[in-house]
């Protein structure tokens, strides 16, 4: 299938431009401050690692909400995917996504005037399946077969959350709680689903909601339609909760070799057994996708506290 008039853009340049536009309108942007919790409703009090902040309305846009109220972690599945960039070959003109499996995604980029080929794919649920480095190796092998002579420049991976029904969430954390809004579950289509969620929430706050906003409501009838799939997700989470703790006893072919470490392997969200990610050098939880750096500090929600030192 071919779609004309598609656009490819640099997400960092786009984010920078949006931030500049927000600042020009008088907004203040703070980075590097972690929100640890929220309480109250008039106003909402946000506890952060740099002190307390109050606000009339709060939007939690952390992918997976950092607050467990609302149980969003039971409705979303954390997924990772991989990308490797190569120089020395001519990338194809256009953006491509394979229809067959294993899925492969192709893009072109440019660095210092030199064309780069970007090869992506190998998605999987966070903390489960083969060691993470094998996913990058499969992309490298596939590229070597189709573009002999391609020279790798960078390799990286990303995380996003899928929902049972495939649509993102944008609305109150709890029914009727208009002071605490959430957005997430973009299912790797953040450029479109993230913008749709932003439009829905901005419309909600300004009283100018788009006509389709109900589709993204977290607490409407659509949730019942997705209940069967949500049950399946949670049954799988249960299997991994037990399996993660039994792996040291039963052995397992999966994770990459762990480094020497002095942090606990107990996820600070709800006690899952974190697994070593040998591609990102992080501790990843197979239950709801919290991730921690090698030293135990938090990388990805829903956890807000780092791994305990042991």
Query: CB-based contacts of 307: which residues, under 8 Å, 6+ apart?
Result: 263, 264, 265, 266, 267, 268, 274, 283, 292, 296
List the one residue out of 103, 160, 166 whose CA is nearest residue 126: 160
Per the CB < 8 A criterion, the answer to whether 15 and 23 are in contact is: no
Residue 269 binds to ligand FES (criterion: CB under 6 A): yes
Residue 275 binds to ligand FES (criterion: CB under 6 A): no
CB of 306 to ligand FES, least distance (A): 13
Residue 143 binds to ligand FES (criterion: CB under 6 A): no
Q: Residue 164 is encoded by which pair of tokens?
A: 């049972």
Interaction with ligand FES in 55-114: which residues (CB under 6 A)? 73
CB of 295 to ligand FES, least distance (A): 18
Question: For ligand FES, what does the binding mask look like between residues 220 and 259, x meaning CB under 6 A?
Answer: ----------------------------------------
CB of 78 to ligand FES, least distance (A): 8
Question: For ligand FES, what does the binding mask look like between residues 284 and 303, x meaning CB under 6 A?
Answer: -x-xxxx-----------xx
Residue 35 binds to ligand FES (criterion: CB under 6 A): no
Q: Residue 33 is encoded by which pair of tokens?
A: 């401050």
**Residue 200 or 267 with smaller CB distance to ligand FES:** 267
Which member of 116, 117, 131, 267 binds ligand FES (CB under 6 A)?
Answer: 267
Per the CB < 8 A criterion, the answer to whether 188 and 81 are in contact is: yes
Residue pointed to by tokens 């799939």:
229
How far, CA to CA in Å, does 16 sit from each of 12, 29, 61, 97, 308? 6, 11, 17, 27, 35
Q: Residue 197 is encoded by which pair of tokens?
A: 């969620």
CB of 25 to ligand FES, least distance (A): 36
Residues of the shown chain interacting with ligand FES in the complex, contacts defined by CB under 6 A: 73, 267, 269-272, 285, 287-290, 302-303
């Amino acid at each position: 299938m071919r779609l004309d008039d598609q656009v490819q853009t640099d997400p960092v340049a786009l984010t920078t431009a949006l931030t500049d536009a927000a600042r020009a309108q008088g907004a203040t942007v703070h980075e590097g401050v972690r929100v640890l919790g929220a309480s109250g409703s008039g106003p909402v009090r946000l506890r952060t690692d740099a002190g307390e902040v109050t606000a009339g309305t709060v939007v939690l846009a952390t992918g997976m909400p950092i607050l467990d109220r609302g149980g969003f972690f039971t409705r979303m599945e954390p997924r990772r995917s991989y990308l490797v960039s190569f120089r020395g070959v001519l990338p194809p003109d256009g953006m491509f996504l394979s229809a067959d499996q294993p899925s492969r995604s192709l893009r072109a980029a440019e660095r210092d005037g030199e064309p780069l080929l970007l090869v992506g794919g190998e998605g999987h649920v966070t903390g489960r399946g083969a060691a993470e480095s094998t996913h990058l190796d499969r992309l490298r092998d596939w590229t070597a077969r189709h573009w002999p002579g391609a020279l790798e420049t960078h390799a990286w991976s990303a995380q996003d959350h899928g929902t049972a029904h495939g649509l993102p969430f944008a609305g109150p954390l709890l029914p009727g709680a208009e002071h605490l809004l959430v957005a997430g579950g973009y299912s790797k289509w953040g450029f479109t689903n993230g913008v749709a969620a932003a439009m829905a929430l901005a419309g909600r706050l300004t009283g100018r909601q788009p006509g389709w906003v109900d589709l993204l409501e977290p607490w409407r009838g659509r949730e019942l339609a997705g209940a069967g799939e949500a049950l399946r997700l949670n049954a799988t989470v249960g299997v991994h909760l037990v399996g993660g703790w039994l792996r040291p006893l039963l052995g397992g072919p999966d994770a990459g070799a762990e480094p020497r470490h002095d942090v606990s392997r107990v996820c600070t969200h709800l006690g899952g057994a974190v697994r070593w990610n040998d591609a990102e050098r992080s501790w990843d939880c197979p239950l709801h996708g919290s991730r921690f750096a090698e030293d135990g500090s938090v990388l990805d929600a829903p956890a807000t506290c780092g791994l305990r030192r042991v």
